[in-house]
Structure 1
Amino acid sequence: MKYTIYHNARCKKSREGLELLKNSGKEFVIREYLKEPLSAKELKLLLAKLNYTPIQLVRTGEKIWKDNYKGKDLSKDELIHIMVEHPKLIERPIIENDKNAVVGRPATEIDKLL
């Protein structure tokens, strides 16, 4: 089974998740989602694998969120659009395989997928 890690190299938790994947011996690809943003369709598929609502994937502590969106009543589609426009708002790291996905916070969550 092949895995994908949605990775931000500047994030300590994301680097920890990548290290765990490397040590697992599993085959995986790295997608630096800030350089190669997800489409709305990809994000919807990822949310389904995570069994998350869009707001559960939003990093609500980020300045972009606080300054522009906090306290607003946003639909699921609006939240997806916001994450597509501002990929920095997507929680990280996310690891997925063909059927499931997890947010690697804490990194031990990744073990559940492997």
Structure 2
Amino acid sequence: MIKIYHNPRCSKSRLGVAYLEDKNAEFEIIKYLDNPFTIDELTNVLSKLNIAPIEVIRKNEAIWKSDFKSKTLSDAELIEAMVKNPKLIERPIVVNGSKAVVARPTERIDEIL
């Protein structure tokens, strides 16, 4: 089943949900701020995205600027930072089986349907 890692307060994330609804896709909404990733879950999603952890970091978040921006962090440290501070994770992330995309723009969802 398709999963969308969603933040209801984010307009791009809401667009992702609406896009899946318009496609009549069956999907599960995961509010990742309420139910944060574990290290294993985030590592798994990153492998499906086939990108480095730094590529899903929201670098304009205040917590990134204050706590992490000036540091050189390993991939494992970046993943740990995102698990502890899920606001740092770019959204929405849509997963379908072994594939995933950061749905920016929303039409990227088509790549995994």
Provide the TM-score with structure 1 as the length reference.
0.97
Distance 1:108 1:18 in 2: 12
Equivalent in the alignment of 1:59? 58
Distance 1:26 1:105 in 2: 18
RMSD: 0.6
Post-superposition CA distance 1:48-106 (Å, at most 9, x none) = 00001110011011000001100210011100000000000000000001110000101
Q: CA deviation at 1:112?
A: 1.3
Whichever residue aligns with residue 72 of structure 2, its letter is: D
Q: Which secondary structure state, in structure 2, belongs to the residue aligned with residue 110 of structure 1?
A: helix
Distance 2:92 2:3 in 1: 10
Post-superposition CA distance 1:13-41 (Å, at most 9, x none) = 00000000111111100000000000000
Distance 1:63 1:56 in 2: 17
Q: Which secondary structure state, in structure 2, belongs to the residue aligned with residue 56 of structure 1?
A: helix
Whichever residue aligns with residue 93 of structure 1, its letter is: P
Aligned residue pairs, count: 113
Whichever residue aligns with residue 28 of structure 1, its letter is: F
Provide the TM-score with structure 2 as the length reference.
0.98
Q: Which runs of 5+ in 1 are unaligned?
A: none
Whichever residue aligns with residue 14 of structure 2, its letter is: R
Distance 1:39 1:22 in 2: 27
Distance 2:20 2:60 in 1: 26
Equivalent in the alignment of 1:25? 24
Q: Which runs of 5+ in 2 are unaligned?
A: none
Whichever residue aligns with residue 38 of structure 1, its letter is: F
Distance 2:26 2:32 in 1: 19
Q: Which secondary structure state, in structure 2, belongs to the residue aligned with residue 55 of structure 1?
A: helix
Structure 1's consecutive aligned runs of 4 or more residues displaced over 3 angstroms after TM superposition are none
